[in-house]
Amino acid sequence: MDAAHEDQRHGSRLPAPAPWGAHPSAVLGSVLVSTATAPISTTAVGDAGVPVVFLHGLFGQGRNFMQIAKALQPEARSLLVDLPNHGRSVWTERFEYDEMADLVAEALATGIAADGPVHVVGHSMGGKVAMVLALRHPDLVDRLAVVDIAPTSGGSLGEFAHLLDALAAIDTSTLSGRVEADERLAERVDDPRVRGFLLQNLRPEGGTFRWLANLELLRNELPAIGGFPATGGATFDHPVLWVAGERSDYVRPEHGPLMRGLFPRTTLVTVRDAGHWVHSEQPETFVSTLRAFLVAPAR
The model's pLDDT over 215-239, given as tens digits with 9 standing for 90+, comes to 999 999 999 999 999 999 999 999 9
pLDDT the model gives residue 236: 98
Q: Is 23 a catalytic residue?
A: no
Alpha-carbon distance values, 235 to 232, 239, 283 (Å): 9, 12, 30
Look at domain 3-154+229-295 and name its CATH class. Answer: alpha beta
Q: Crossing angle for the helix pair 125-136 and 97-109, nearest 10 degrees?
A: 70
Active-site residue identified among 34, 41, 78, 124: 124
Q: Is 99 a catalytic residue?
A: no
Nearest C-alpha neighbor of 144 from the set 114, 117, 121: 121
Strand, coil or helix: 30? coil
Candidates 123, 137, 276, 279; catalytic one: 276
pTM value is: 0.86
**CATH 3.40.50.1820 domain position(s) in the chain:** 3-154+229-295
Count of other CB atoms within 10 angstroms of residue 100: 23
Task: Report pLDDT for 38.
Answer: 66
Instruction: Spell out, as residue ranges, where the chain has pLDDT lower than 50.
Output: 1-36
Tell me whether residue 119 is one of the annotated catalytic residues: no
* Given the residues 99, 106, 216, 246, the one annotated as active site: 216
What is the structure's pLDDT at 299?
60
